[in-house]
Structure 1
């Protein structure tokens, strides 16, 4: 069976929450529910590290503006994780060259990450924090549901992931004005912070 649908789905999910992908695949492989997961993802140290980072991601992703800083820091990490997971899955299955699998997983994760980061920038223009929590929770549940589906029905999961990816790109296009507004606010805050640091302090009255 071709592993391409599983690779595509794992790439999409990695762009949203790479640690959840590694953790879920590792747990499913370690418990013997699937033979598609390579042994390297089932190692105890990998599962512990993925679990800790998943908890960090879960907290940071629900705090306004902190989530966007977290996304910026993961612009390289998520696509790289998507490429590595895809290459490992291809190596385990043997039906697709690892380099090609890594390219599919990494590029899909990059697009998915950009959609996530752009959508979160738009959400951060709203004054209340609840939309961030709802958005993050929906993303976590979506990733978990699609990855679990991919283990048992990879083609169906890939179709859902593809629809969600296209819908996300369209959404980001419609939210472009709000994303630009967020970027202007962030640039203004940085400029204000730099101006405060450059302003000389009042030395106070001369000593007598």
Structure 2
């Protein structure tokens, strides 16, 4: 059977959490749940490193603004990981050229990474940290669920990943317009306060609670 659905799904998931993908695929291969996982992902050292980095991401990804920094660092790492995992999967099955698989996995990982990073930037306009925690936890569960599902039902999992990617792109466009409107309103209020101060009016931040 073609490995293309698993390549696409792993690429999407790598853009969200590449370390979870490597860890889960390696564990599934090492435990004998599937024979489509290459031995390179089943090595003990690879599993240990992936597990440690997954724990680091699980923490950093839930802290406002730290998650933005983490995402910026992983703009290269996640697509590269998606491409490498896809190429290894293709090399194991022999049903898809490794170069083509790498291109599919890397491109899909880049797209889902951009959706994730952009969504986090929008969420961080909110002052409370709970939305970051909820969103990060949901992403971790989604990656774990869809990779597990892909092992047993690769085509169905690929369809779900494609739908989630499309929804993510739409959400990112929707949030981007809201962020731009928010920034324009904030810039307008700042300009109004600056003009009021230049004309001799009281500063806006001293007018609240500053009366007699």
Q: What is residue 86 of structure 2 aligned with on the other side?
A: 86
Deviation at 1:181, TM superposition (A): 7.9
Q: Where does structure 1 differ by over 4 angstroms across 4 or more consecutive aligned residues?
A: 178-184
Q: What is residue 164 of structure 2 aligned with on the other side?
A: 164
> Does residue 122 of structure 1 match 2:125?
no
Q: What is residue 139 of structure 1 aligned with on the other side?
A: 139
Normalised TM-score (structure 1): 0.86
Q: What is residue 46 of structure 2 aligned with on the other side?
A: 46
Deviation at 1:137, TM superposition (A): 0.3
Q: What is residue 24 of structure 1 aligned with on the other side?
A: 24
The count of corresponding residues between Structure 1 and Structure 2 is 184
Q: What is residue 150 of structure 1 aligned with on the other side?
A: 150
1:30-88 superposed Cα distances (whole Å, 9 cap, x missing partner):
00010000000000000000000000000000000000100000000000000000000
Distance of aligned partners of 1:143 and 1:19 in 2 relative to their CA distance in 1, 3 Å threshold: same
Distance of aligned partners of 1:11 and 1:176 in 2 relative to their CA distance in 1, 3 Å threshold: same
Deviation at 1:178, TM superposition (A): 4.7
Cα-Cα RMSD: 1.5
Normalised TM-score (structure 2): 0.84
Q: What is residue 198 of structure 1 aligned with on the other side?
A: none
Q: What is residue 103 of structure 1 aligned with on the other side?
A: 103
Conserved? CA contact 1:121–1:178, under 8 Å: no
> Does residue 5 of structure 1 match 2:15?
no
3-state DSSP of counterpart to 2:136? helix
Deviation at 1:143, TM superposition (A): 0.3
Deviation at 1:177, TM superposition (A): 3.4
User: Any unmatched runs of 5+ in structure 1?
Assistant: 185-208
Q: Distance in 2 between matches of 1:130 and 1:181?
A: 23
Distance of aligned partners of 1:183 and 1:32 in 2 relative to their CA distance in 1, 3 Å threshold: farther
User: Any unmatched runs of 5+ in structure 2?
Assistant: 185-212
